[in-house]
């Protein structure tokens, strides 16, 4: 999971026009929404799983940021 997140952060330095739109829309949207769902779930379960929350939220934030970069371009 860390490798996927770090690869997504490494893509921040790429110009938005070089990002693949079908990949961004399909994979990043589904993983971004999944990250939000898992973040919410991790705060509902007992005991609260803050590690899952932070990883899911970070993953979701980087994916949604990439989509926003592509949409602005």
pLDDT tens digits, 14-38: 777 776 667 667 777 788 888 889 9
Structure token pair of residue 41:
């779930």
Give the per-residue pLDDT at 60. 87
Give the per-residue pLDDT at 48. 92
Confidence (pTM): 0.70
Contact 49, 21 (CB under 8 A): no
Residues 6+ positions from 66 with CB-CB distance below 8 Å: 8, 11, 12, 19, 24, 28
Mean pLDDT of the chain: 80
């Amino acid at each position: 999971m860390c490798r996927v997140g770090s690869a997504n952060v490494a893509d921040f330095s790429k110009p938005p026009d070089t990002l693949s739109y079908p990949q961004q829309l399909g994979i990043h949207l589904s993983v971004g929404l999944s990250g939000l769902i898992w973040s919410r779930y991790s705060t509902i379960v007992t005991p609260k799983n803050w590690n899952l929350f932070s990883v899911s939220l970070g993953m979701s934030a980087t994916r949604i940021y990439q989509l926003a970069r592509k949409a602005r371009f």
